[in-house]
Chain A
Amino acid sequence: MSDTIEVDGKQFAVDEEGYLANLNDWVPGVANVMAAQDNLELTDEHWDIINFLREYYEEYQIAPAVRVLTKAVGKKLGKDKGNSKYLYSLFPYGPAKQACRFAGLPKPTGCV
């Protein structure tokens, strides 16, 4: 697969669904470029979730399914954020799928 995205003049390989090919390549700019492709501008609220996902992956070695993400966010960042309405308002293409992509993680386990 030869798909790449350009971040700060550097090329990053992505898979056929747009997920970063190599987890370790990730820099915050990747999230900004991917968000721009989806016509989103990242706010602090977006970054809270992206950083949360990266920490979750670091600890558990998987990207959580949306149900699990919602629960875990509620536990960590408060119940007002741990609900799908809030998360979909930030990530309209699906909080787990889209936010994981921005965070440089693989597609969540349990998402089709």
Chain B
Amino acid sequence: MSEVVKKFMYLNRKAPYGTIYAWEALEVVLIGAAFDQDVSVMFLDDGVYQLTKGQDTKAIGVKNFSATYRTLGDYEVKKIYVDRASLEARGLSPDDLVEIAWEDFETEEEIENIVEVIDSARVSELMNESDAIFSF
């Protein structure tokens, strides 16, 4: 059965807590990963906070799901992008972000960190190339 592989982009624009968007988006990505499409995940605006290290949710009494992003590689999501301008506008740098590893179990090919910080022109380009964009 040959099916057309579509380019799906999941766009994350909101802070991790305070609304359900970030967690819901992550669940959709993990569930959608089973369908063998060409998936990329983009973090933009306050969405960049989702990938920051050292989150502590104890005081707000919700689950800290920041560790779950590190499973994206296991779910065979290989393309994770962060908008550089959004990071800089919030006083963040790439060092503030979690690293997500990816490994091909068959070939043992390994990539230590698939999180890629890109400039705005590249963000637009990737959006244009996508067949479908799911914005959260």
Contacts and interface: CB of A to CB of B under 8 A. Distances in A.
Contacts, number: 39
A93 B22 CA distance: 32
Contact of A62 (B34, B64, B68, B105): B68
Interface residues of B, number: 16
Interface in B70-107: 70-71, 74-75, 103, 105
A65 interface: yes
Interface stretch (B7-15, B25-33, B111-119, B128-136): B25-33
Given A60-B68, A109-B30, A65 B75 contact: yes
Nearest to B64: A61
A54 interface: no
B74 A72 contact: yes
A72 B30 CA distance: 15
A85 interface: no
Interface in B4-45: 27, 30-31, 33-34
Contact of A109 (B31, B63, B64, B70): B31
A65 B31 CA distance: 8
Interface residues of A, number: 15
B30 A71 contact: no
A3 to B, nearest CB: 23
Contact of A59 (B34, B64, B67): B67
Contact of A110 (B30, B63, B65): B30
Nearest to A65: B34
A76 to B, nearest CB: 12
A75 B110 CA distance: 13
A65 B64 CA distance: 20
A107 to B, nearest CB: 12
Contacts of A60: 67-68, 70-71
A74 interface: yes
B107 to A, nearest CB: 13
9 contacts: A61-B65, A62-B30, A62-B71, A64-B71, A68-B71, A71-B74, A71-B105, A74-B105, A75-B103
